[in-house]
Amino acid sequence: MSTNTNAIETERLSKRYGRRTALDDCTVAIPTGHVVGLVGANGAGKSTLLQLAVGLLEPTDGTITVLGGRPGAGPAQLARVGFLAQDAPVYGNLTVGDHLQLGERLNPGWDRALARRRIERFGLDPRQRAGRLSGGQRSQLALTIAIGKRPELLLLDEPVASLDPLARREFLADLMQLAAEHQPTVVLSSHLLSDVERVCDHVVVLAGGRVRVAGDVDDLLASHKVLTGARTVSTALPPGQTAISASHTDRQTTLLIRTAGPVHDPRWQVSDVGLEELVLAYMSADVPARSLAAVGP
Amino acid sequence: MEFGVIEFRIDTHSGVAPYRQIVQQVRQALRLGLLEEGDQLPTVKEVVAQVAINPNTVLKAYRELEHEGLAAGRPGLGTFVTRSLADGSLGAHKALAAELGRWLQKARRAGLDDDSIAALFERTFRASMNEDVA
């Protein structure tokens, strides 16, 4: 298998629960070697996409390929993908030590030294029952189990949503150390954009079950600008520029645009865009999603 | 393990890309003489553990510093400062800082608040830059 296989690749992927559509015609490629932020409002399809990638769900339509293989296809595929479900589930009646033993028995490639080191570093008592851990400790234990099998791809569903700010920062700092040391591809879903901006170098924006935009964070920031001008300015844009969102007051018009090159029109004041502003624009944009998913650098 | 000589801060609300913030903070430390030629910058692992940012962001910042000729990577050892930005002007800093301190006291006595002082400095700074250009 080539080393530049995408971590996750979907082709016209859809998932419906009865009459409700959770994912709708998603085509996206997520490269390896990045920390990828999967962002979108609640119900946008983030958890569904992650559960499809780990093999807990089957697609209704289309295909999904993970590290070149079919999700959950067999022991070899399962060993390559680590998954931390929302709210960091642990077995409340089992001890921390029991969890480590389970991890070791169930995973052929288990890294016992790594797991032990993490438990010690976070001051977790192996005899402590998991149900009595704090939220932050429980997340650290669950991440330890997910990372203990040394996966190539680590999928995290809202890993910090239930943590207080201090525990959140510690969790992310630890995750980034893991990323620096072991270099797994990490895909984490989050609706906390400031966290995504800190830790992710690639983003996928989902809204209404569709991929609105996906790409390298720095490339996306470089190819989008905010234009501000008088209300009378025509919003027609030259070729190569596309408006993603527009807002108007009585006197002023503000556009967020995607552009291939610099903007020279003197009627506009041009400024750079932040990741949060960009993501929000795509999340609320009323545009045909398929045409936007293919944004390149 | 000896820890690097400077600590980075990342402000995600500043609108400045995180890797740019690291580059700016190194340049600033070089200008103020806090970092000197031969100093080791914190390792990628140290930075991400400390400020919880993407390791690629740190690598990108260090590559940019190398590109600017301010730092160089030594394989297996880390990234080291290769050039100072302080030069001969560092000796004048102390006297200028004292003078600026006296000016700030005067501005406060005249009733300016922090925002007004910053705005006045910014405007005067820009005006003097324009004079230099003209």
- Indicate which CATH number applies to the domain containing B53: 1.10.10.10
Amino acid A286: pLDDT: 64
Return the residue matching tokens 């930005």. B85
Question: Do the domain assignments include residue B12?
Answer: no
What pLDDT is attached to residue B134? 55
Cβ–Cβ contact A58 with B under 8 A:
no
Phi, psi of A45 (to 5 degrees): 115, 10
**Residues in B lying within 8 Å of A, measured between beta carbons:** 10, 12-13, 15, 17-19, 44-45, 48-57, 60
Residues 6+ apart with CB under 8 A from A289: A25, A207, A208, A210, A211, A212
Whether B2 maps to a domain, the answer reads: no
Residue B38 to chain A, least CA–CA distance (Å):
24
Q: With contact defined as beta carbons under 8 Å apart, do A140 and A122 qualify?
A: yes
Structural domain ending residue among the three candidates B50, B65, B81: B81
Residues B35 and B60 both lie in one domain: yes
Residue B82 has pLDDT above 60, yes or no: yes
B50:A173 CB<8 A: yes
Give the range of the structural domain holding residue B122, as residue numbers without chain letter: 88-133
Instruction: Report how far residue A281's alpha carbon sits from residue A279's, in angstroms, rounded to the nearest whole number.
Output: 5
Residue B121 and residue B73 share a domain: no
CB contacts, 8 Å: B46 with chain A? none
- Residue range A177-197: mean pLDDT, rounded: 91
B40 and B77 share one domain: yes
Q: How close is the nearest chain B Cα to the Cα of A208, in Å?
A: 27
Asked if the structure places residue B10 within a domain, the reply is no
Q: Which residue has the higher pLDDT, B88 or A292?
A: B88
Judgement on whether residues B77 and B22 belong to the same structural domain of the protein: yes
Q: Is B1 contained in some domain? A: no
- Structural tokens at position A51: 């559960």
Task: Tell me if B6 is assigned to some domain.
Answer: no
The length of chain A is 297
A102 touches chain B (CB under 8 A): no
The band of B2, judged by pLDDT with boundaries at 50, 70 and 90, is very low
CA–CA min distance A137, chain B (Å)? 17
Q: How confident is the model at residue B4 (pLDDT cuts 50, 70, 90)?
A: low
H helix intervals, A44-192: 46-54, 75-80, 96-106, 112-121, 135-148, 165-182
- Is residue B1 scored above 80 in pLDDT? no
Q: Please tell me the predicted confidence (pLDDT) of residue A4.
A: 61
pLDDT digits (tens, 9 = 90+) for B29-52: 998 888 989 999 999 999 999 999
Of A169, A194, A201, the CB nearest to B57: A201
Integer-rounded Cα radius of gyration of chain B:
18
User: Which of A43-47, A151-155, A284-288 tops mean pLDDT?
Assistant: A151-155
Does any domain span residue B122? yes
pLDDT at A293: 42
Nearest CB to A199; choose among B19, B50, B54? B54
Using 50, 70 and 90 to split pLDDT, how confident is the model at A152? very high
pLDDT band of B122, cuts 50, 70, 90 = confident
Residue B90 CB partners (closer than 8 Å, separation 6+) = B32, B33
Quote the number of domains for chain B. 2
**The pLDDT value given to residue A99:** 96
Establish if B9 belongs to a structural domain. Answer: no
pLDDT at A158 over 90: yes
**What is the bridge-based pairing of β-strands A153-157 and A81-84?**
parallel
Domains and CATH numbers, chain A: 8-216 (3.40.50.300), 223-292 (no CATH)
Residues B72 and B96 in one domain: no
Say if the Cβ atoms of B52 and A172 lie within 8 Å: yes
For residues B102 and B76, membership in a common domain is answered with: no
Query: Residue A295 above 60 pLDDT?
Result: no
Q: Which residue of A lies nearest to B57 if distances are taken between CA atoms? A: A201
Q: What is the pLDDT of residues A271-291, one digit of tens each?
A: 989 899 999 999 987 654 444
Sheet harboring A202-207: ordered strands across? Answer: A81-84, A153-157, A185-190, A35-39, A202-207, A210-216
What is the average pLDDT score of chain A? 89
Q: Which residue of A has its CA nearest to B14?
A: A274
Statement: residue A2 has pLDDT above 50: no
B8-34 tens-digit pLDDT: 999 887 778 889 999 999 999 998 888
Q: Is residue B47 domain-shared with residue B93, that is, in the same domain?
A: no
Distance from CA of A217 to the nearest CA of B (A): 10
Give the residue-averaged pLDDT of A172-185: 92
Neighbours of A162 (CB within 10 A): 15
Cβ pair A177:B12 closer than 8 A = no
ipTM exceeding the 0.90 mark: no
pLDDT grade for A194, boundaries at 50, 70 and 90: confident
Q: Do B48 and B76 belong together in one domain?
A: yes
Task: Give the integer Cα–Cα distance in Å for A238 and A233.
Answer: 14
Same domain, B76 and B125: no
Q: Which of B63, B81, B99 is the last residue of a domain?
A: B81
B76 and B93 together in one domain: no
B34 and B65 both lie in a single domain: yes
Strands (E) in chain B, as ranges, are: 71-74, 78-81
Of B58, B81, B104, the last residue of a domain is B81
- The tens digit of pLDDT for each residue in A54-104 reads 999 999 999 999 999 999 899 899 999 999 999 888 999 999 999 999 999
Residue of A nearest to B10 (CA): A198
pLDDT of residue A185: 95
Residue B13 lies in a domain: no
Q: Is A176 on the interface with B (CB under 8 A)?
A: yes
| pLDDT of residue A1 exceeding 50 | no
